[in-house]
Structure 1
Amino acid sequence: MNIALWTVTALLSAAYLGGGVAILALPKERFRAVHPNWHYVDEFSPWFLKVLGVIKLLAVAGLLLPPAFDVAPTLVPLAAGGLVLLMTGAVTVRIVREEWSIALGDLLFLGMAAFVAWGRLGPEPLGGWTCG
């Protein structure tokens, strides 16, 4: 179980690190040109997209830094829970925009984040901390 949790955490971290850096580094128009299927950027202002990028990078930090430094292990399930909330919003936007195939991908990321949150709260907590 621990190996599965670490694998999913690594995949989530890589995806959100790339997404966060892309949103922060590229202006809205350039981001849209690089990612033509990601129409959601049309719905939001540039400052909101920058905040979204920061949130993604903070989630990556919350997933990786606590176990790396053996500090505040409760941040891992909280960061994963934050990603669940973020992806709930993403799926909602995709459904409203009727982007069904992309919504399925977002649901996959939502499920992965939920798995990490559940796994680190229950069966495989970090640092001996458990919710139950």
Structure 2
Amino acid sequence: MNITLWIITSVLALAFLAAGLMKISQPKEKLTASGMAWAEDFSPTSVRAIGAVEALGALGLILPAALGIAPVLAAWAALGLAATMLGAAAVHLRRKEAKAIPVNLVLLLLATVVAWGRFGPYAL
């Protein structure tokens, strides 16, 4: 099960790192034009902050456990990313963007599984 958790953690980290870096590096207008219509509701600073949370969460999933320095932080990072996905799903629901919600729910589920495993029976 520990290997499965590492695989899930790696997939989550790659997804959140890519999404976060995109939000940090791209102007809000370009993000909106590329299909992230939700960004219209947020200031450029907020969009970058969301990207920073996602990128730092991705690093938090991997680095503490891999380096053996406060590995419980990986579980907290997973929990934080799960909360981020709850917020994202709420935004998409409010904006009636139903097509985006399944992605949020899958990422929420995966992050919850990692948090459960790292807080519980497979803590590092």
TM bracket, shorter-chain basis: over 0.9
Q: CA deviation at 1:97?
A: 1.1
Out of 85, 88, 91, the residue aligned to residue 90 of structure 1 is 88
Aligned pairs, number = 124
Q: Which has the higher helix share?
A: 2
Aligned to 1:8: 8
Alpha-carbon separation, structure 2, partners of 1:9 and 1:24: 22
Q: 1:106-131: per-residue Cα shift (whole Å, max 9, x none)?
A: 001000100000011112111xxxxx
Instruction: State the 1:39 CA deviation.
Output: 1.4
TM-score w.r.t. the length of structure 1 is: 0.90
Look up the match of 1:45: 43
Q: Give the 4+ runs in structure 1 shifted more than 2 A.
A: none
* Cα contact 2:20–2:55 (8 A) shared by 1: yes
CA drift of 1:8 comes to 0.8
Q: Secondary structure at the match of 1:83?
A: helix
After alignment, is 74-83 or 52-61 more displaced? 52-61
Tell me the residue number matched to 1:21: 21
8 Å Cα contact 2:57-2:81 kept in structure 1: yes
For 1:75 and 1:50, how far apart are their aligned partners in 2? 23
Counterpart of 1:122?
120
**Aligned counterparts of 1:69 and 1:121: Cα–Cα separation in 2:** 17
CA-to-aligned-CA distance 1:70-95 (integer Å, 9 cap, x gap): 11011011000001111110010111
Q: TM-score, normalized by length of structure 2? A: 0.96
Root mean square deviation, CA, Å: 0.9
What letter matches 1:8 in structure 2?
A: I
Partner of 1:74: 72
User: Equivalent pairs: percent with the same residue?
Assistant: 39
Q: 1:65 aligns with which of 58, 63, 66?
A: 63
Post-superposition shift, 1:63? 0.5
